[in-house]
């Protein structure tokens, strides 16, 4: 790290910092400029040291140099990781499509949708049994009944299932039914939950928090991996900005940024990312062109009756168009979508 | 709610929406303009209806009219609420100061700080036993040992204790030791946790999420109140913006906004709000002038050795100055701080 | 527009609003709900009426219904526009690539780069002669000398030239040399400048402001068109968010949003949008997949000697790769790049 | 500055950077860590060097150390500046209140308001003759007629006048009539305008841009000062964030931040900062408590007829209350408002 001293910080203050750095086990390199002294500190670094040093008299600021993530980072794991969900590989040549309704509402609704997305070439079925909702008066999900319905849909279609987990206590329960556990945007820094999903071996889909930086997102992945589970897939789903024309601002630059800094696969959710079904198809295409390893798409047979997120759900017909267009696009960049024959 | 139809939406599409509105129990008022038809829908409203209608063909957008919060709102509860923590009343004439270290690090550290903040007129002792940290490698708190130390400090100083809870499972445990449960910014939409603290009767300090609107924050309070606990105090602690000169952007307009829409008390945390100890004093003064019911201030006897948030912690001497300056200010606006005689 | 009255607003206050609405020429539709009265107001609307009504006692808020843009909007101009720059058509089947250095630094530098981008299939040459820079101590551009160099490069390569204009006084000067006038992000709401470029007939490239909504951006276009110049092309170049890992956050959803609301062509500048050359190529591909009509790319033969924006400039070799990859991608979505034979 | 090399950057790449640094006139201090090499570069720094070095192969990033502002900064001008407008001193003991309508609409309107604000103790009269408006169809101001009306109001009330300038060409014209030139938020980085107001000697009120950091704001002041005019007063007026409950987010931490980094006086505009008249009074109090040197307040005798910003304008009665409350508050922090006797 670099310790930047204040303008005209006295020699005593500079000395106090260098003494402290030595106590903490750092090698120091002092650079005395005309206007300011800066101290380069090399060595093992505990996160709290940064704040302690920042609190010393005469210190203007601390500039960290090393990235704080190790296990999620690319520096010591240069090859891209692949994560297996059932028979599906995420992070390989094939672009993986997870599709289904926002919420599991009933067995009929889920099965009907599951058949449609399967027919059109989706690889994984999504559907929420536990729904985190802004209002306590909104539909909160069918809970364990929803999990059972998801398992039934897997039996019928053969598609592995991804579903959200919101309570650390439910890891074992959800893991019984689902093939992949989703940690939602609002829980990206629910560290208790991150550690719990880190203790099981089910693959985890970690959505980016509404206001999380790429670095904080990788630190959330670091929580999971350092707890013992390295089957982590990241999902960009839009960040919160001043723009109100879309529900969120889909930050597709996160795709090359994650590829640059991390070995983890990354998929994109243009449904939450835009909040408007009209924009889902172009942004799905864009996600693939940016290098994403997969898509997560909300599909509902009758969006106007959906209990959650109707405005951003595709009909099966629109989903079919999405699969056809992204298939061509994937080929153009040397990847593929849908190894199954699409009818 | 108002349903805005698209430009040139056909009569059939308009009819379909009005039929659907009637099915859902709304009274309709149709306004046919030259360029657009809008439909005013009056009646009971379930949150999912908005999204369902937004998904209908020919619908441009839905404009909700009523505020979604009922129990936290001022419309049906026009008098300001007061919340009691031990013998301290929050939301009355007296401005309440919660002070102490970011994290409980040891018995000596906490007791030393507790004595200092008590001596200077603080009303409630703060200190974290469970610390949600961005990095899994940072100090995560002393957990139950930290709770015991807090209880010991209360015994010695008589100050009630507020501490953060991060795991829904720990409500009973933390409630045994603490007088007030804090829900941190990263957990503001951890709905499982909100419901759990809503089921006990301990007062809850609900911090605003990093990227939460005032409306979402009140909906989080609604979760707690609708679960049975109406002892909720809000805490503004800065939001995330593009400005990097401060750790967060302290949104003091939230104080009059909350006073306008809600009956709940609101306090301000300028330590997290700015992240820099130099700005804590002026922003504490500003918070009181804006109408806040209290302050939450990080104090550490040796910030340069703090295991968390040293850069934003006040020394006891700076805290003494804060108490003196805010006391004068509180009087100027007809309130008071520190009924105890300050030495 | 919709006038939403406050909870329990008295009959007198409601009457005062309806009287005022009639005075202002609106037809009123009153909807009296149990909790709130809302008034639908239909008719011609001047922007100031919204604020006046919002200031009346008893009014909670005004909800505008109609989009404020007319000439830039799609409602009365449903066909996509095409804008001609020299012999190049923007908004047609062909995706148009504008490339060149951030700033014109010397005749040698510009000509060398111009030859490279021409060789690789760029359609328009970019280069700044007047540079708006955050610091007064940064290189501010060669001004008229820079314009002369641009014109020389056009003579040699045949590429039309786009360059930024920063002073309303310079419209005539810049129009003498350039084929397209660029209004930069920092000037998107420099209304004096917008009106001046609206009075000439040169095509205008209007970059999105750093913190502009899509609606404000279209209103800026409305200034230009309503001044008499409908040759406007929009350019998404990233918005300012809390994320610091990229220079800006490239908001590609703006592409389908603009296509939905407006008939104007839109291009994307991934160089400024990301600020990092490594991310330019994937985001250029994504822009095309999202439906953009063109790209603006910074190219410099020796980025490490650039007087501006070196970190986000491509070398000619990287630019060649970009052209090759985007060509394949454009074909996959039924468009094309580079009708010229690429060597 | 600090040059951070990439993980495992080769010795050749490190050498190339150090050679280049020497060419550019820097002294180098090399720190070779286990994971990364960093190079401290000391010496005179041109802004473009940062970008050039960032573009070199093997360079991860550049960390600037020195603040880029010199003339606006506190390091070489440690005493607070005072700026004189007519007989009013901004930056002294007295807190200065600028008040008046958003726009000059007519002689009657302005004079009536001017008398009211004068009677209640305002020091400077504000009013817009040139109005930058989001929509070309909104009222754009009375232009030179408005300036004449402002001058007439000054003759009658004795209050100096501040008014906005939007066109660099108009500096001489506006300076003939006004005592202080306002550069609005949308023009904070209109560098042509900044240089023009820097060439005259009238005091300048520089509003913070909608999405400007404190550092960029001080760089805008640097443009004015380095052009020859050091009579600059800063005005915080809210920044753009995701929160839509207020028009902008008033960033009062900017007050202590500016006081920390700069010698320039700073005032606060809670009218634009909140956009809602109800919040203006508490935020005006908060601004003073945070240490602001003055306030800018919109006052209109009939807000419901205002041609601009009615929703955020105070009536004279509300303004009187503001003056009374802030007077008490100012005394409480050792300053004063209104040396004139308030009736």
On whether any CB of chain B is under 8 Å from the CB of A20, the answer is yes
What is the distance between the alpha carbons of residues D322 and D271, in angstroms, rounded to a whole number? 12
Q: Is residue B72 part of a domain?
A: no
Residues of C in contact with A249 (CB under 8 A): 239, 241, 249, 251, 253
Contacts of residue A31, defined as CB under 8 A and 6 or more positions apart, other chains included, come to A37, A38, A39, A40, D29, D40, D42
B90 has a pLDDT exceeding 80: yes
Q: Are the beta carbons of A89 and A131 closer than 8 angstroms?
A: no
Q: Are the beta carbons of A292 and A258 closer than 8 angstroms?
A: no
* Chain-chain contact of A215 with C245 (C-beta, under 8 angstroms): yes
* Chain-chain contact of B255 with D213 (C-beta, under 8 angstroms): no
Which of A1, A6, A31 to mutate against chain D (most D CBs within 10 Å)? A31
Chain A (155-174) residues lying within 8 Å, Cβ to Cβ, of chain B: 166-169
* Chain-chain contact of C256 with A325 (C-beta, under 8 angstroms): no
Measured between CA atoms, how close is A341 to chain B, in angstroms? Answer: 31
Share of chain D above pLDDT 70, in %: 98
On whether any CB of chain D is under 8 Å from the CB of A304, the answer is no
Q: Mean pLDDT in chain A?
A: 93
pLDDT of res. D342: 40
Q: Are the beta carbons of A255 and A286 closer than 8 angstroms?
A: no
Residues of C in contact with A288 (CB under 8 A): 289
The rounded average pLDDT for each run of 10 residues, N- to C-terminus, in chain C (343 residues) is 87 92 86 81 77 88 85 92 97 97 96 97 97 91 97 98 97 97 97 97 97 97 97 98 96 98 98 95 98 98 88 95 96 83 40
Task: State the number of CA atoms in the 13 A half-sphere of D332 facing the CB.
Answer: 27
* Chain-chain contact of A40 with D35 (C-beta, under 8 angstroms): no
Measured between CA atoms, how close is C7 to chain B, in angstroms? Answer: 7
Q: What ipTM was reported for this prediction?
A: 0.94
Q: Is residue B75 part of a domain?
A: no
Q: Is residue B70 part of a domain?
A: no
Measured between CA atoms, how close is A343 to chain C, in angstroms? Answer: 20
Nearest CA in chain A to D28: A31
**Statement to judge: residues D156 and D292 lie in one domain:** yes
* Chain-chain contact of D290 with B278 (C-beta, under 8 angstroms): no
Least confident of B293-302, C82-91, D308-317: D308-317
Q: How many CB atoms lie within 10 A of CB B201?
A: 12
* Chain-chain contact of A214 with C274 (C-beta, under 8 angstroms): no
What is the distance between the alpha carbons of residues D211 and D239, in angstroms, rounded to a whole number? 6
| Continuous segment of H or E residues that includes residue A309 | none
**Statement to judge: residues C182 and C258 lie in one domain:** yes
Q: Is residue C68 part of a domain?
A: no
Q: Are the beta carbons of C303 and C60 closer than 8 angstroms?
A: no
pLDDT of res. D340: 47
On whether any CB of chain A is under 8 Å from the CB of B278, the answer is no
What is the distance between the alpha carbons of residues D239 and D210, in angstroms, rounded to a whole number? 5
Q: Is residue C277 part of a domain?
A: yes
Q: How many CB pairs under 8 A join A and C?
A: 123
What is the distance between the alpha carbons of residues A34 and C242, in angstroms, rounded to a whole number? 33
On whether any CB of chain C is under 8 Å from the CB of B332, the answer is no
**Statement to judge: residues A43 and A138 lie in one domain:** no
Helix ranges (DSSP H) in B158-213: 171-177, 191-199
Residues of A in contact with D25 (CB under 8 A): none
What is the distance between the alpha carbons of residues A267 and A95, in angstroms, rounded to a whole number? 9
The alpha carbons of chain D give a radius of gyration, in whole angstroms, of: 23
**Statement to judge: residues D35 and D162 lie in one domain:** no
pLDDT of res. D343: 38
pLDDT by residue (tens digit) across B38-74? 888 877 667 788 888 888 989 988 888 888 898 999 9
Which of C217, C286, C326 to mutate against chain A (most A CBs within 10 Å)? C286
**Statement to judge: residues C170 and C52 lie in one domain:** no
On whether any CB of chain C is under 8 Å from the CB of D306, the answer is yes
CA distances from B92 to B265, C112, C300 (A): 9, 73, 65
D122 has a pLDDT exceeding 60: yes
pLDDT of res. A88: 97
pLDDT of res. B44: 64
Q: Is residue B216 part of a domain?
A: yes
Q: How many CB atoms lie within 10 A of CB D44?
A: 9
On whether any CB of chain C is under 8 Å from the CB of D245, the answer is no
Confidence band (pLDDT; 50, 70, 90) for D309?
confident
**Statement to judge: residues A192 and A315 lie in one domain:** yes
On whether any CB of chain D is under 8 Å from the CB of B277, the answer is no
Least confident of A8-12, A64-68, B206-210: A64-68
| CB crowding D57-73: b at 16 or more within 10 Å, else e | ebbbebbebbbbbebbb
Mean pLDDT of A224-249: 97
Mean pLDDT of A128-151: 94
Which of B129, B170, B191 to mutate against chain A (most A CBs within 10 Å)? B191
What is the distance between the alpha carbons of residues B146 and B154, in angstroms, rounded to a whole number? 12
Which DSSP state fits D80?
A: P
Q: How many CB pairs under 8 A join B and D?
A: 123
* Chain-chain contact of B285 with D289 (C-beta, under 8 angstroms): yes
Contacts of residue A185, defined as CB under 8 A and 6 or more positions apart, other chains included, come to A207, A208, A209, A210, A237, A272
* Chain-chain contact of D189 with C132 (C-beta, under 8 angstroms): yes
Residues present in chain C in total: 343
Q: Tell me which of D145 and C24 has the higher pLDDT.
A: D145
Considering only the beta carbons, identify the residue of B51, B210, B219 that sits closest to A309.
Answer: B51
**Statement to judge: residues D193 and D56 lie in one domain:** no
**Statement to judge: residues C96 and C211 lie in one domain:** yes
**Statement to judge: residues A96 and A54 lie in one domain:** no
Nearest CA in chain B to A130: B192
Q: Is residue A71 part of a domain?
A: no
On whether any CB of chain D is under 8 Å from the CB of A242, the answer is yes
Domain boundary among the residues B17, B35, B63 is at: B63
The domain tally of chain A equals 2
* Chain-chain contact of A42 with D31 (C-beta, under 8 angstroms): yes
pTM of the model: 0.95
The tokens describing A108, both together, are 């009929």
**Statement to judge: residues B37 and B124 lie in one domain:** no
On whether any CB of chain B is under 8 Å from the CB of D56, the answer is no
pLDDT of res. C343: 38
D93 has a pLDDT exceeding 80: yes
pLDDT of res. B248: 97
Contacts of residue A247, defined as CB under 8 A and 6 or more positions apart, other chains included, come to A238, A272, A273, A274, A275, A276, A312
What is the distance between the alpha carbons of residues C224 and A188, in angstroms, rounded to a whole number? 44
Q: What is the CATH number of the domain that holds B28?
A: 3.30.70.1140
Residues of A in contact with B52 (CB under 8 A): 303-306, 310
Considering only the beta carbons, identify the residue of D4, D33, D66 that sits closest to A35.
Answer: D66
**Statement to judge: residues D160 and D14 lie in one domain:** no
On whether any CB of chain A is under 8 Å from the CB of B192, the answer is yes
Q: How many CB atoms lie within 10 A of CB A76?
A: 10
Residues of B in contact with C251 (CB under 8 A): none
Q: Is residue D247 part of a domain?
A: yes
What is the distance between the alpha carbons of residues C70 and A242, in angstroms, rounded to a whole number? 24
Q: Are the beta carbons of D118 and D135 closer than 8 angstroms?
A: no
Considering only the beta carbons, identify the residue of C243, C279, C329 that sits closest to A333.
Answer: C329
Task: State the number of CA atoms in the 13 A half-sphere of C261 facing the CB.
Answer: 25
On whether any CB of chain A is under 8 Å from the CB of D40, the answer is yes
Q: How many CB atoms lie within 10 A of CB B121?
A: 22
Considering only the beta carbons, identify the residue of D42, D63, D75 that sits closest to A2.
Answer: D63
CA distances from D38 to A34, B55, D62 (A): 20, 54, 10
On whether any CB of chain B is under 8 Å from the CB of C70, the answer is no
Residue with structure tokens 């400024």? C272
* Chain-chain contact of A47 with B138 (C-beta, under 8 angstroms): yes
B31 has a pLDDT exceeding 70: yes
Mean pLDDT of A300-320: 92
Which DSSP state fits D159?
A: -
**Statement to judge: residues C34 and C138 lie in one domain:** no
The tokens describing D220, both together, are 């805008």
Measured between CA atoms, how close is B193 to chain C, in angstroms? Answer: 27
* Chain-chain contact of B190 with A187 (C-beta, under 8 angstroms): yes
On whether any CB of chain B is under 8 Å from the CB of D296, the answer is no
Q: What is the CATH number of the domain that holds B214?
A: 3.20.20.70
Its domain, for residue D49, covers 2-63
């Amino acid at each position: 790290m670099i310790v930047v001293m204040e303008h005209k910080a006295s020699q005593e203050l500079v000395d106090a910092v260098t003494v402290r750095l030595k106590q903490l086990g750092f090698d120091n390199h002092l650079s005395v400029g005309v206007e300011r002294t800066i101290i380069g500190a090399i060595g093992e670094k505990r996160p709290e040291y940064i704040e302690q040093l920042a609190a010393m008299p005469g210190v203007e600021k601390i500039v960290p140099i090393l990235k704080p993530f190790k296990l999620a980072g690319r520096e010591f794991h240069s090859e891209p990781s692949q994560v297996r969900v059932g028979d599906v590989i995420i992070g390989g040549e094939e672009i993986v499509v997870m599709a289904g309704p926002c919420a599991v509402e009933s067995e009929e609704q889920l099965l009907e949708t599951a058949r449609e997305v399967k027919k059109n070439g989706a690889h994984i079925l999504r559907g929420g049994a536990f729904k985190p909702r802004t209002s306590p008066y909104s539909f909160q999900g069918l809970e364990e009944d929803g999990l059972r319905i998801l398992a039934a849909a897997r039996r019928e279609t053969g598609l592995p299932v991804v579903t959200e987990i919101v309570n650390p206590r439910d890891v074992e329960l959800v893991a019984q039914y689902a093939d992949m556990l989703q940690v939602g945007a609002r829980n990206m820094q629910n560290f208790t939950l991150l550690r719990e999903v880190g203790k099981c071996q089910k693959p985890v889909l970690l959505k980016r928090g509404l206001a999380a930086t790429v670095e904080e997102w990788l630190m959330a992945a670091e929580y999971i991996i350092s707890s013992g589970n390295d089957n982590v897939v990241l999902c960009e789903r839009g960040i919160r900005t001043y723009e109100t024309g879309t529900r969120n601002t889909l930050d597709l630059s996160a795709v090359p940024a994650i590829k640059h800094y991390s070995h983890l696969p990354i998929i994109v959710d243009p449904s939450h990312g835009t909040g408007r079904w009209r924009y889902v198809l172009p942004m799905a295409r864009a996600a693939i062109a940016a290098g994403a390893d997969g898509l997560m798409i909300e599909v509902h047979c009758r969006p106007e009756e959906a209990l959650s997120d109707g405005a951003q759900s595709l009909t099966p017909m629109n989903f079919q168009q999405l699969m056809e267009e992204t298939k061509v696009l994937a080929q153009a960049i040397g990847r593929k979508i849908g190894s199954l024959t699409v009818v």
